[in-house]
Amino acid sequence: MTFKEAFCHLKSDKVMSFLIQRFGKEITLKDRYEDNYAKAISLLIIEQQVSFKAAITIKKRFIKLIDKKNNKDILKIDDEKLQSIGISNRKVSYIKNTYKYFEENKIEFEKLNDTEIIKQLIKIKGVGVWTAEMFLIFILFKINIFSKGDLALINSVKKNYQIENLDDLKLERITQKWKPYKSIASLLLWKSIEEKVFYNYRE
C-alpha cells in the first residue's frame, strides 16, 4: 500500500480531501515503530490517559532507562525506579505484565487476523482494545483500523463533520466510506485535531 493509493480512495470524502491537501505530506505510520513488541506495547501503555506532552517526556525517560537491556533485565528493574521517571504504580505493573507475557509467549502475529491479534493482546492485564488497536496501526502497519475508543479521533470526527451528537450509526456511516484505509483516515484526523485545523463546510 502507498499513501497515494489511500489518498485516491479517501478523496471522494470532502473532509478527507481537505485534510489530505493540508496534511497529506506530513503523516506517517512509521514514526512510532518498534520491533520489540513488549517495548512497543509498554510505550503505548505509557500513553494511556496522559497528555501528549507528558507521554513524550516519560517515554524518552523509559527508553533511556531500558537502553541496552533485554526483556529479562527489564523485568528485574525495581518498580520504584520505573515510578521515579513518571510512570504510575499501576502502569509499572502493566509494563511488567507485558514483558512477562512476551517472555512466556511467542506469538506469530503475521498468521493472525486483526480480531485474533486484539484477543491475544487484551489477555495482558493493562492492555485494552485501544492499546491493541494502536499496536495494529503503528507496529503491524494495519491500514484499516479505526479506534472508536480514541477520544481525540472522535472529537476530530465531530469537528470536521460538524456533528455534535455522534452516535454509533452516524460514525459507522462515515468510517465505512474510508474502508479499506481507515488507519490513514485516522492519521489525518489526529493531525487535524493536533493542529486545530478543521474542514469548514461554508468554504
Segment 48-79, tens digit of pLDDT = 988 888 999 999 999 999 999 999 999 999 99
Q: Do 155 and 129 share a structural domain?
A: no
Asked, for residue 200, whether it belongs to a domain, the answer is no
What does the block give as the cell for 195? 493542529
* Whether 186 and 127 share a structural domain: no
> Is 181 among the domain residues?
yes
Q: How confident is the model at residue 124 (pLDDT cuts 50, 70, 90)?
A: very high
User: In this predicted model, what pLDDT tens digit does every residue of 25-34 receive, in sequence order?
Assistant: 999 988 889 9
Residue at 132 is within a domain: yes
111: containing domain: 37-138
Does residue 120 share a domain with residue 53?
yes
Q: Is residue 160 within 8 Å of residue 201, measured between CB atoms?
A: no
Q: Look-up: residue for cell 479505526? A: 146
Q: 0.85 exceeded by the pTM?
A: yes
Does residue 88 surpass a pLDDT of 80? yes
For residue 181, what is the domain's CATH number?
Answer: 1.10.1670.40
Question: What pLDDT sits at residue 170?
Answer: 96
Same domain, 185 and 133: no
* Whether residue 151 sits in one domain with residue 134: no
- Per the prediction, the chain carries an average pLDDT of 95
Give the pLDDT of residue 201.
Answer: 72
Let me know whether 47 and 89 are in one domain.
Answer: yes
| Pair (162, 79) in one structural domain | no
Number of domains in the chain: 2
Give a yes or no: residue 121 inside a domain. Answer: yes
Kindly state the average pLDDT of the residues 124-146: 96
> Do residue 114 and residue 187 come from a single domain?
no
Give the C-alpha distances (Å, rounded to integers) separating 74 from 10, 128, 186, 190. 42, 22, 33, 32
Quickly state the pLDDT bin for 135 (edges 50, 70, 90): very high
Q: What is the reported pLDDT for 159?
A: 97
Closest of 199, 14, 155, 36 to residue 44, by C-alpha: 36
Question: Do 104 and 17 lie in a common domain?
Answer: no
Q: Are residues 47 and 105 in the same domain?
A: yes
Residue 201 lies in a domain: no
CATH number for 110: 1.10.340.30
Q: Give the mean model confidence (pLDDT) for residues 108-136.
A: 96
The per-residue pLDDT for 52 is 82
Question: Looking at the domain assignment, is residue 15 inside a domain?
Answer: yes
Domain boundary among the residues 138, 160, 175 is at 138
Are 50 and 125 in a shared domain?
Answer: yes
C-alpha span between 127 and 108 (Å, rounded): 18
Q: Are residues 171 and 84 in the same domain?
A: no
